[in-house]
Structure 1
Amino acid sequence: MRVHDLGQVLEVQADVYDADILEDRSFYQNRLDLAPDSCWVARDTDNQLQGYLVSYPWAGLLPPSLGDALSSLPSPADQWFIHDCAVMRRAQGRGVAGALLQAGRRYAWQRGLRRCSLVSLGPAVGYWQRLGYKPIEGVPAPVLEAKLRQYGEQASFMDCAVHPD
């Protein structure tokens, strides 16, 4: 992902998410500035952006807050955090997300990150479960619930082991 992709990233985001959880250009710019090597886009043969993955090294028992700018990434990191993986509706079911996630797993593995975490929106929980993700247990419920409320009803903080492909 590069700065010139951000306009199309926002288009993909608007195509797949409800308006109340959309993040603005400055959010994506922030993550791209902090973790340019772990943000990717997928394009079709006409060079149209079909999907994107925003991820970064992370640490701790809680996900970052939705939409908040970060001043830095934690160091050392103990996990690879998937902030957002989105694919245009017209491109879903064509392996776009799988290719993006494969690039991400390689990135994480090469950096010694053996755990991946994410916040799944309610409708996508089944998708992530099929990929081996499970709800994270052991996080104080009131604190986690406050974070997850930002993501909408039935959002779930999930993780899985990272394996090289």
Structure 2
Amino acid sequence: MLASDVDAILLAQTLAYPRFLLESAEFFLNRLALAPQYCWVAQAGEGLAGKELFGYLVSYPWDAGLPPALDVPLTALPAGADHWFLHDCAVVPEAQGLGVGQALVRAAAGRAMHNGLTHASLVSLASAAGYWLRHGYAPLAANSAGLADKLAGYGPNASYMSRGFPF
């Protein structure tokens, strides 16, 4: 992912998510600055209108604590992080079913494992929970007020999920 991809990423997220989940250009630039090796895009080759974005993935090293809030910049990543946090992976409707999301996840997870991270975590929207369950993720109990508050920003029945490496 490059800073020049952000406009296309903003368009892709509007096609993939409801309005209340949309994050700003500043959010994407913040995560790209903190963890460029964990932020990826999938693009078609050169065409008349340039490269078409098929999807993107934003992730970064994290700890096993609470997930980060949506659209909130971070000043730094946690020291000693052992989790790979998959913050967002979206594929435009025209590219769904082509394996774009799976390729993005595998590439970024491979980098995370190579860099010594031992677990993966994410917040799943209710509509995607079955997908993540099929890929080895398990929901973590939302028994703390802090976690319940964080998950509320992701919509009804969102869940914090985790799994160990390797994939």
Counterpart of 1:98 in 2: which secondary structure? Answer: helix
Equivalent position amino acid for 2:153 in 1: Q
CA contact (8 A) 1:57 1:77 kept: yes
Rounded to whole Å, the distance in 2 between the matches of 1:140 and 1:112 is 29
Rounded to whole Å, the distance in 1 between the matches of 2:76 and 2:10 is 23
Structure 2 unaligned residues grouped into runs of 5+:
none
Query: Which residue pairs with 1:18 in the alignment?
Result: 18
Residue 60 (structure 1) shift: 3.1
1:38-83 Cα offsets, whole Å, 9 max, x none, are 0000012343110000000001321011111000001111100000
Query: Which runs of 4 or more aligned residues in structure 1 lie more than 3 Å from their structure 2 counterparts after TM superposition?
Result: none
Alignment of 1:143-154 (within 5 A): 143-154=146-157
CA contact (8 A) 1:108 1:162 kept: no
Equivalent position amino acid for 2:31 in 1: R
1:4-39 Cα offsets, whole Å, 9 max, x none, are 000000011000100011001001010001011100
Indicate the RMSD between aligned Cα atoms, in angstroms: 1.1
Rounded to whole Å, the distance in 2 between the matches of 1:83 and 1:29 is 14
Rounded to whole Å, the distance in 2 between the matches of 1:110 and 1:136 is 25
% identity of equivalent residues: 46
Instruction: Specify which of 89, 95, 101 is matched with residue 105 of structure 2.
Output: 101
Q: Does 1:142 align with 2:142?
A: no
Residue 141 (structure 1) shift: 2.7
Equivalent position amino acid for 1:126 in 2: G
Equivalent position amino acid for 1:125 in 2: A
Counterpart of 1:49 in 2: which secondary structure? Answer: strand
Alignment of 1:67-146 (within 5 A): 67-137=71-141, 140-146=143-149
Rounded to whole Å, the distance in 1 between the matches of 2:129 and 2:100 is 18
